[in-house]
Structure formats: C-alpha cells, structure tokens
A and B are shown apart, each in its own frame.
Chain A
Amino acid sequence: MLGCARLAALQQLEYRFNLLADTMIQPFVVGLVEITLWMAFFASSGQAELAGFGREYYLSYALWAAFISRVSTSWMYESLMIQDIELGTVNSVLVRPISFFEYYLGQLMGYKVLTTAISLMAPITLCLFLDLPVSLSRLPLALALTFYYLILVHVISMIIASLGFFFTRIHHLTVAKNITLWMLTGEFFPLDIAPEPFKSILTALPFSSAVFRPVGYLTERLPVSTIYEGFLSVTIGLLVLGPVAALLWNAGRRRYSGTGA
C-alpha cells in the first residue's frame, strides 16, 4: 500500500501546475473568501463577540476550516474509483494482489500527505501575517484526527463506488455527499453557534471530526477532550459503515457485468 502512496505522489508531481493550484492557490482563495464573510458580519452586527469569541477568532477559524476541510474531503479519488467501475477498468485492479480498498486508500493517503505538507504554509502564513489566534503546538493532534477521519471518508467512498456496480453514472452521489458533508463538518461555521437541536446532533456525528473538532481544538476554542471524542465517534462510524461497505462491495462484484474494456 505504501507503493500506492508513492505512486500517487509521483503522479501528482507530474502535473506540477495542478499541484501548485491545488495545494497553494486554492486554500488561499477559499480562506480569504470565508474571512470576508466574517469580517462583514462583525462590521455590520455591531457585536464584538459571538458565542464568547471575538472577531479575530472567527477569522482564524474560517481560515483553518477552509484548509482542513480540503484535507478531509475526497472527491478526486472517489471519482477515480467510480470511473474505474463505470468503465470497467476496475478489472485491471481486481486482478492484482492488493485489494481495491487498499489500492485507493494508499493512493488517497499518499496524495493527502503530500498536499497537506505543501499547503500547510498557507494558513500558517496568513495567521502570522494577520496575527490571528492559533496554537501550532496543537497541530499534530488535530491533523491526526483529520487523517483518521479520512479512513472513514474512504469507507464512504467505497460505499458510493460499490453502488456503481448497481447503477451507472453515479458521480452525482459524490457531489451530493460532499455538499452534505460540507454542512455537517463545520466548514461554514463553528457547529456550536447553530441552534439546538442541530448543535447537539451535529457535534455528536463523526463528521464533526472533519473540521469542527480539529479546527476548534487548534484555535483553542475546544479542549483536548474533543479530540478523544472525535476519535471515538469516527471509530464508531467505521464500525457501522465498514461492514456496510464490505457487504455492498461483495454484492456488487457478484452482480458485476463487466461492461467495457
């Protein structure tokens, strides 16, 4: 599987312009766009604080949320997985000794490690430049949770990709899923400013470990217990969705008609 990670890294380096855009330009742009929303909010609301945190805090949150959510979203490899099944090129993966799951998990991780390492510079620079609150010593633990969450993301990708055995052209599910996750992860706003009962539900779900928990921890909004809770809820998610993915995959392979190449 390490070989797959290395393969992914090599492939990405090949398209250097893309890599640049993906890791540097994109997080910058997203971060700035979200920051402007919060700046506008504090400028027009006449408030100095929201839920106990000041303007600078939310700017920092918005920035880190943009960056971390990029790390914890899988669209590219999921699309590749779906495409493989759709076009029938999955055949070439199925005959290899490594499983489809491992093959793509390796690639996903390889890619994420590479792009995370490079784009880390973006939010760090901006935070220092704009003097925004962040506790960099907390970064390793925050990232650990995010990467652990990625495994859950990959399991969900497997579920969606397996549906490709039953339905043709399911790429829209990826989009739907990602947009739904958008809302559930806390990318747009810290989940604890949402009204009840949303607030409780959203924080309890494993998806809060995608953005809200790691960023909340990193920006000192939340204590370290949030990370432990995050690990727990993601593990529960894996225990629930893992078997579902396995079941679907096997059922799908049985049904597989082998269209295409």
Chain B
Amino acid sequence: MTKIIKKYTYLFVSFFKASLMAELEFRFNIAARIVTDIVWYIAQLSVFEVLFRHTENLSGWTLPETRVFMGLLFVTDSIFMMLFSENLDRMGEKVRRGELDLLLVKPVNSQWMMSFQKVSVAYIGNFLISSAWLAWSLSQIESFKPINTLWLLLTVPIGLSIVYAIRFLTSATALFFTRADAINYIWYQVYRLGTRPDTIFPQILRYMILTVMPIAFLASVPAQIILGKSGPQLLVLGGTLSILLVYASSRFWKYGLKSYSSASS
C-alpha cells in the first residue's frame, strides 16, 4: 500500500515539476490566466455589490457575509482549477483524438492519470489573491472567531472531491459521445449553482444541490459553517457524498472504457 502511495506521490510531484517547466514557457499565458480570473472575480462580485445597493439582506445573507462566501468560492475554485481544470477540460479532446490509448497501455491508474497529469501552476497566483480576499472579508465580520478557519481543513477537501467527481463524470461522457461540448456547458451551469448561497434557491433546488448534485458543498456550506450560520452536521452528509461520488466516478470510468473504441485506425 505504501509503495502505491509513494509511486503516485512521486508521479504527482513529477507532474507538478513538469507542468511548471512547461508553463513557465508561456509567460503570456500565465499573465492571461491571472487576469482572466481577476475579471471573473470582479464579475461575480459586481452582481452582489450592485444588488446589495438596493437591499440589506438577500435570503438571510448580508453583504459582508456574501463577500466571505465569495472568498471561499474563489479559494476552492482556484485549487480546483489548479489541479483539475486542464486535465478534465481537455479530456474530451484527448479521447476524440485517440490519445487515451497511450495512457491505457501504461501501468498506472488511467483515471488518476487523466485527472492529475497536468497541474495548472498559474492558478497559484489566483489562490494567493483569493486567499487575501477571503482573509480581508473575514476580518470585516465582527462576530467571526478565527478558530473557525480550522473547519476549512475539512470543508475544502470535501468540496473539492465532490466538484472533482461531478466534473469527472461529465467529462467522462466523452467515452460515449464523440463530441460533448454541450455537456461541458451544462457542467458550467451546475457549477454556477454553486456560485450562489444555497438559501437563494427555492426549496426543491436547494435540496438537489445538497444531495443529488451537491455543489452547495463548494462554497455555500463551508461559508455557513465558518460564519457560524449553521452547525457542522452537514459535513457528515458532505463527507459521505464525496466518497460515494468519487467511487461512482471510478465505476463510470471503468464502464466507459469498455465501450470505448479508439478513434480512426
């Protein structure tokens, strides 16, 4: 068991170094990526900043609390993007080109390879910026207890696993459908649901994003826990769901590989 952990850790570190070397080549791209995300942050924040000019309260959230929510969203998002965006977004392309083959003949877990092959090192910049925002927005809340940040050690991995699993499941449909750009777009919409505090949504939808498509664990649930708006019980649900979903992604992948037929000859 330790041998396996060692191997995959070594591999991950190698991938990280290789990705770093490869990415440093494209300095323009790194800058572009940071700028892109800053623009995205501003876009997301602007909606709430404008809305809160016309109201004090939005489904139980105040502006300072919403800023914390956004901070958590940005931080988790930057980690997710760093680890998985390149790999999962390009999966459809790789499958279509038949590049999956070269991965399947290697003595490594193909799902792991597909998911971790490339690390988007540029997002470290975003991680730093978003962490700064999170720290600042937390400091603006008088009732906030710094010890609550420890919850992040649980909420972030749970949120990441859930988002990873959902994203992987959508990307893996490329094994069945030759082109699935639209499924990707649907994924973005599901993700979008996670970019709003869950209390905004009508009851049915709220239930869904806490169970069936538990995107609420991306930022909404962690924000509630860290702000003391709700107790940590939801984390039990989150933890269970994350394990189930990752397992489901693995089964789906194996099932998909069976029906996979390589492109062209």
Q: Which residues of A contact B (CB under 8 A)?
A: 15, 17-22, 25-26, 29-30, 33, 36-37, 39-41, 43-47, 50, 76, 167-170, 172-173, 175-176, 179-180, 182-183, 188-189, 193-195
Closest to A36 in B: B201
Cα A40 to Cα B201 in complex, Å, equals: 7
B residues with CB within 8 A of A: 26, 28-29, 32-33, 35-36, 39-40, 42-43, 46-47, 50-51, 53-60, 177-183, 185-186, 189, 192-193, 196, 199-202, 205
User: Can you pick out 11 interface pairs between chain A and chain B where the beta carbons lie within 8 Å of each other?
Assistant: A25-B186, A37-B47, A40-B201, A41-B55, A44-B60, A47-B55, A175-B36, A179-B36, A182-B43, A183-B39, A195-B50
Residue contact A172 to B36, C-beta cutoff 8 Å: yes
* Chain B residues near A50 (CB-CB < 8 A): 54
Q: How far is the CB of A55 from chain B (nearest CB, A)?
A: 13
A contact residues around B179 at 8 Å (CB): 15, 18
A33 to B199, CA, bound (A): 13
Residue of B with least CB distance to A184: B43
Bound complex: CA of A50 vs CA of B60, how far in Å?
19
Q: In the complex, what's the smallest C-beta–C-beta distance from A32 to chain B, in angstroms?
A: 8
User: What residues of A have a CB within 8 angstroms of the CB of B42 in the complex?
Assistant: 183
Given contacts A44-B59, A182-B43, 19 further A-B contacts (CB under 8 A): A15-B178, A26-B189, A29-B186, A36-B202, A36-B205, A37-B196, A39-B202, A40-B58, A44-B55, A167-B26, A169-B29, A173-B32, A179-B36, A179-B39, A183-B46, A188-B43, A188-B46, A188-B47, A189-B50
Residues of A within 8 A of B202 (CB): 36, 39
Whether B58 lies near A22 (C-beta < 8 A) is: no
Which of A21, A30, A47 counts the most chain B CB atoms within 10 A? A21
